[in-house]
Amino acid sequence: MWKGRFQKATAALLTQYGESISFDWRLYKHDIAGSLAHAAALERAGIISGDELGQITEGLKSIERDIDAGDFEFKIELEDIHMNIESALTERIGAAGARLHTARSRNDQVALDVRLYCRQAVGDLLTKLRTMQSALIACGKRHQDAVIPGYTHLQRGQPVLFAHHLLAYVEMFGRDAGRLTDSLERINVMPLGSGALAGSTVPLDRDFVAEQLGFPAITHNSMDAVSDRDFVAELLFDLALIGAHLSRLSEDVVLWASAEFGFVTLSDAHTTGSSLMPQKKNPDIAELTRGKTGRLYGNLVSLLTTLKGLPMTYNRDLQEDKEPLFDSVDTVGIALDIFAEMVGEMTVETAVTRAACSDPMLFATDIADYLVKRGVPFRDAHEIVGRLTAHATTTGTPFPEIPLATYAEFSPVFDESVLALFDIETALAARTAVGAPSPANVAAELDRWSAKLA
């Protein structure tokens, strides 16, 4: 493509070192869509004839069909997807193909392709997030009466509904979807017409190109347009955070599936055995997802590091944007798919989770609230119940079995109504504030999300 200036052929090692076709071939549909729109703009500007536009269009479509069918030979000597397609086009249609690259550089071309890729990826990921949320909602509905201890510091705190725990993740994935949707505003900006860095003297109608490709906006600085990868960094962050959310859920699933908790049973289809220990049934999906989250963070840091020292404008370093991007999109995509499947077939062992809630210590906060409602300042109530807890622990007497006379020694405010506190259903039903886990609230939240996701 640049043979005019050079006397020596490219070193074999540089061909190998510099090629990106082994990964950027994935951009072929976006590259062809961009070329079709660019060719139409060239025709409008009088650079190519209607006949040439026809030949270019036919040529590009035949290349796309061949790549779709696996009948296209990518050549590493042609470095990247842009030159592979352009060279094949010229081979197929001759002179008209050689006019296509007028007023265009691979710098604005690759910026366009990556934006188109990101736009499509965001659309796909939004669908996958919705499927994942729906699987969590369905699991919550299947086990609508299941209670589970809520934890802080991995110490049992207060009972909640299992569905309330799952709905916490539905909220996280909802924010993730919101972030992805917001990112489209910055992804959806059309850079073609920026040339290598300073636009072109050819009068291209950039708005016309944008319109054909479905972009609501065009870039306003040619130098920024060819070197901006903010939108990629932003997407990598969004994906890293989805990874963080999936990884937290993974950790819950790993704990729940252990013999120590025994809260859930995973389907055989979503677990693996051991080559040595015949009894094992391992939650590999959760472990792999927790592990792959490290890669997602790495991909974000990798791109941020690539960007930090770059002088204006395009630098070849930017070719390093694609592998982390593709990897994060692929990794999060399959993780969401497989998690939705796993959650879809996960069974909650409701007798076990209920037994775990039978520890009367889980009602300590409710006893303090009981005192507060009878006029005791919360700090005093906290201390009274703290001493009561110490008494229960040292004497081995659970709260419901402590005699009323003993309660009265801790505070004169206690009467027999305190014994009504030690019932999970009563405790849950009393938690009626918006966002709190009363069964009525949780049912309403499951319905609200179902309607939102439908």
Query: 7 to 26, contacts with ligand ARG by CB under 6 A?
Result: 20, 24
Number of CB atoms found within 10 A of residue 134's CB: 18
Residue 25 Cβ, how far from ligand ARG at the closest point, in Å?
11
Q: Cα separation of 60 and 316, whole Å?
A: 26
Residue 83 Cβ, how far from ligand ARG at the closest point, in Å?
8
112 or 418: whose CB is closer to ligand ARG? 112
Query: Whole-angstrom distance between the N-terminal and C-terminal Cα of the chain?
Result: 51
Do residues 159 and 427 touch, judged by C-beta distance below 8 A? yes
Residue 318 Cβ, how far from ligand ARG at the closest point, in Å?
5
Residue 451 Cβ, how far from ligand ARG at the closest point, in Å?
43
| Count of residues interacting with ligand ARG (CB under 6 A) | 10
83 or 413: whose CB is closer to ligand ARG? 83
Q: Which two tokens stand for residue 94?
A: 């001759």
Q: Which of 178, 242, 169, 165 is nearest to 428 (CA)?
A: 165
Residue 194 Cβ, how far from ligand ARG at the closest point, in Å?
13
Which position has the token pair 């993740």? 169
Do residues 107 and 226 touch, judged by C-beta distance below 8 A? yes
Residue 9 Cβ, how far from ligand ARG at the closest point, in Å?
17
72 or 326: whose CB is closer to ligand ARG? 326
Q: Is 299 in the site for ligand ARG (CB under 6 A)?
A: no
Radius of gyration of the chain (CA): 31
81 or 376: whose CB is closer to ligand ARG? 81
118 or 139: whose CB is closer to ligand ARG? 118
Do residues 119 and 188 touch, judged by C-beta distance below 8 A? yes
Do residues 362 and 337 touch, judged by C-beta distance below 8 A? no
Do residues 148 and 263 touch, judged by C-beta distance below 8 A? yes
15 or 271: whose CB is closer to ligand ARG? 15
Residue 218 Cβ, how far from ligand ARG at the closest point, in Å?
20
Do residues 222 and 197 touch, judged by C-beta distance below 8 A? yes
Query: 60 to 119, contacts with ligand ARG by CB under 6 A?
Result: 80, 106-107, 110
Segment near ligand ARG (CB under 6 A); pick from 291-299, 312-320, 324-332, 364-372: 312-320
- For 421-434, letters b (16+ CB in 10 Å) and e give bbebeebbeebeee
Q: Which two tokens stand for residue 347?
A: 């069974």
User: What amino acid is encoded at 46 in this protein?
Assistant: G
Residues catalogued as catalytic: 153, 274
Do the bridges between strand 189-190 and strand 217-218 make them parallel or antiparallel, or are there none, so unpaired?
A: parallel
Q: What is the Cα 224 distance to its own chain's centre?
A: 27
Q: Is 30 in the site for ligand ARG (CB under 6 A)?
A: no
24 or 86: whose CB is closer to ligand ARG? 24
Segment near ligand ARG (CB under 6 A); pick from 150-158, 177-185, 279-287, 313-321: 313-321
Residue 226 Cβ, how far from ligand ARG at the closest point, in Å?
9
Q: Is 318 in the site for ligand ARG (CB under 6 A)?
A: yes
Q: Residue 129, exposed/middle/buried by CB under 10 A (0-12, 13-18, 19+)? A: buried
Q: Which of 183, 319, 328, 331 binds ligand ARG (CB under 6 A)?
A: 319
196 or 338: whose CB is closer to ligand ARG? 196
Q: What is the dihedral of CA 113, 119, 123, 124, to 10 degrees?
A: 30
Three-state helix/strand/coil letters over 322-342: HHHHHHHHHHHHHHHHHHHHH
Q: Which two tokens stand for residue 34?
A: 């961009």
Q: Which two tokens stand for residue 93?
A: 């249609």
User: What amino acid is encoded at 77 in this protein?
Assistant: E
Segment near ligand ARG (CB under 6 A); pick from 134-142, 158-166, 315-323, 435-443: 315-323
Q: Which of 2, 316, 375, 403 binds ligand ARG (CB under 6 A)?
A: 316
Binding mask 170-189 for ligand ARG (x = CB under 6 A): --------------------
- The full length of the chain comes to 454
Which position has the token pair 């909802």? 174
Residues near ligand ARG (CB under 6 A): 20, 24, 80, 106-107, 110, 314, 316, 318-319
